[in-house]
Amino acid sequence: MYLVKLGGSVITDKSSLGCFRENVADGLAESMRDLEDKIIVVHGAGSFGHILAEKYNLDKGFYSTEQIKGFAETQGLVQKLNTLILEVLHKHGLPAVSIAPHDILWFDNHELRDFPYQLFEKYLEKGFIPVTFGDVVLDVSKGCSICSGDTLILALAKYFQPKKVIFVIDEDGLYTSNPKIHRDAEFIEEITPDELLSLETSLDDHPDVTSGMKGKIKSIIGISKLSIDTILVNGNKPERLYDILHGRSTRCTIVKGCC
């Protein structure tokens, strides 16, 4: 079994509200065809979620009536992105079904409180591909919280213990620093969780209420503690995702799982 996280920076233009990169998503869907292993897909919210979530400070919890409007608008947009992803997957014959976080779980003080793993199991048993996504959800302490795709992928990895967790991002993998900013950034083919902790990270200029690469690194370290390898691969080159899913070598970063 594989867990695949489609990063919001890959499937959307994160600098433009509600901008879907259909051609990229189409290539990634093609790469997931004809796979014998079970798969769960998690996708980020990208520009369908982060821009409005930052505008209304939804990561701070409810403190004004204006945020109610922002929560509803954000939820509507991320559902729209999810529908677009499902349409692309269906076009390639993949039996994808949506599982929306705001329908099935809630947070407490910005931490995941409960997770209905059995729902995912039931869909997998029937031969479906569950698709869930970064979302805004209710929080019993704060009113609302951001439920990032990285939080979801870690929770799913703990329960399902997949062969590998694959992060599809907008770079070839990890670098010694942000390659969008630092020209001297060096590519990393393989790294341990301890080395990952000391890795320099910096955020891009676009809004990201889930802390960008820093949030990913936190989740990846959690996954590595489960003795599961995490692979980061460039989604702009979908053939690389195909190679990983079919056991072929390709350019990527491997974060080794530790005992």
CA-closest candidate to residue 44, choices 166, 184, 210: 210
CATH assignment of the domain containing 151: 3.40.1160.10
pLDDT tens digit sequence for 6-20: 999 999 998 899 999
Position 203 scores a pLDDT of: 41
Q: Model-level pTM? A: 0.93
Confidence of residue 210 (pLDDT cuts 50, 70, 90): very low
Pairing of strands 143-147, 135-139: antiparallel
pLDDT of residue 213: 67
- Range of the structural domain that residue 189 is part of: 2-255
Closest of 190, 256, 254 to residue 227, by C-alpha: 256
In the predicted structure, residue 65 carries a pLDDT above the cut 80: yes
CA distances from 146 to 29, 108, 242, 249 (A): 26, 11, 30, 35
Q: Give the model confidence (pLDDT) of 100-144 as tens digits.
A: 999 999 999 999 998 999 999 999 999 999 999 999 999 999 999
Total domain count, the chain: 1
pLDDT tens for 178-201 read 787 888 889 999 999 888 887 755
Judge whether 210 and 50 are in contact, CB under 8 Å: yes
